[in-house]
Amino acid sequence: MKVIIVKDYEEASHKACEIMLDVIKNNPSANLGLATGSTPIRLYELMREDHKTNGTSYKQIKSFNLDEYFGLDQSHPQSYHYFMCQNLFNELDIDMNNVHVPKGNGDIDEECKAYNQLLEENPIDIQLLGIGSNGHIGFNEPGTAFDSVTHKVDLKQSTIEDNARLFFNGKIEDVPTQAVSMGIANIMNAKKVLLIASGEGKAKAIQATVEGPKTTEVPASALQDHPDCILIVDEAAATLLK
Ligand code: F6R
């Protein structure tokens, strides 16, 4: 695992953008694994700016998101599909047929199977990740097996609370309690992994990910075994690192 410590969120986003654009420029038909949450918002803004200013094209790019809430339609303003359109896709030249976000409704078992198949057929070139304060990646909460693939998840209370802040105007009762998520094995299959962590709320999770034992209690610690994993950590999130 390569840890790059940067000053703050802004610098982390710029560094991450550099790495993403490098992958895209070297392979204009790359498969991107994407994340939602507050962490990638600035990165997505920088990618939109770059597309507008420098014309980087996404016409041949395929995208695969990590996760989606269970019970929300794609058009629901709190769905991750909607989030991705608002924060990234609507301002790129990406073909929406090449955009994939797990479906959070319908026959979930079938949807998980289909998503795993899709990932097998389209190996991810770079997987972007944020990290939960409890060390989760995607919606893989502590205790998730390292060999897990796309599956339905019961969200932990801490994740429901964290997400209420961001997505549901603080209304915990509106946050879905289940989600569909790529598994840890799907994430580990990506050729390159890029995790961004910003803010002191992530310091414990980053310490456990980088310095702790590899344990399913800290899902991100699985990344210790990934052959090409970059962690961009700002000073606040790096405070507990030796
Ligand atoms: C989002 C996701 C989650 C978030 C994590 C951090 O698609 O998979 O694992 O990356 O919960 O969220 P933020 O960035 O809001 O701190």
* Structural domain span for residue 102: 2-234
pLDDT at 123: 98
Show the ligand 1 pocket: residues with CB < 6 angstroms: 35-39, 66-67, 130-132, 136-139, 166
pLDDT at 159: 81
CA distance 35 to 208: 21
| Domain-located, residue 42 | yes
- How far, CA to CA in Å, does 113 sit from each of 11, 72, 76, 151, 157? 38, 19, 23, 8, 27
Rounded CA Rg of the chain = 17
| Domain-located, residue 103 | yes
Known catalytic residues are 67, 134, 136, 141
Q: Which CATH number do you get for residue 54?
A: 3.40.50.1360
What token pair was written down for 12?
């982390």
pLDDT at 104: 86
| Domain-located, residue 192 | yes
pLDDT at 167: 67
| Domain-located, residue 213 | yes
| Domain-located, residue 240 | no
| Domain-located, residue 230 | yes
User: Distance from the CA of 178 to the center of ligand 1, in angstroms?
Assistant: 15
Q: Domain count of the chain?
A: 1
Complex-level ipTM: 0.99
pLDDT at 69: 92
Nearest-10 Cα torsion for 202, 205, 207, 212: 180
| Domain-located, residue 241 | no
pLDDT tens, residue order, the chain (242 aa): 999 999 999 999 999 999 999 999 999 999 999 999 999 999 999 999 999 999 999 999 999 999 999 988 899 988 999 999 999 999 999 999 999 999 988 888 899 999 999 999 999 999 999 999 999 999 999 999 999 999 999 888 888 887 777 667 778 888 889 999 999 999 999 999 999 999 999 999 999 999 999 999 999 999 999 999 999 999 999 999 99
| Domain-located, residue 67 | yes
pTM of the model: 0.96
User: Which ligand 1 atom sits closest to the C-alpha of 80?
Assistant: 7
CA distance 221 to 207: 10
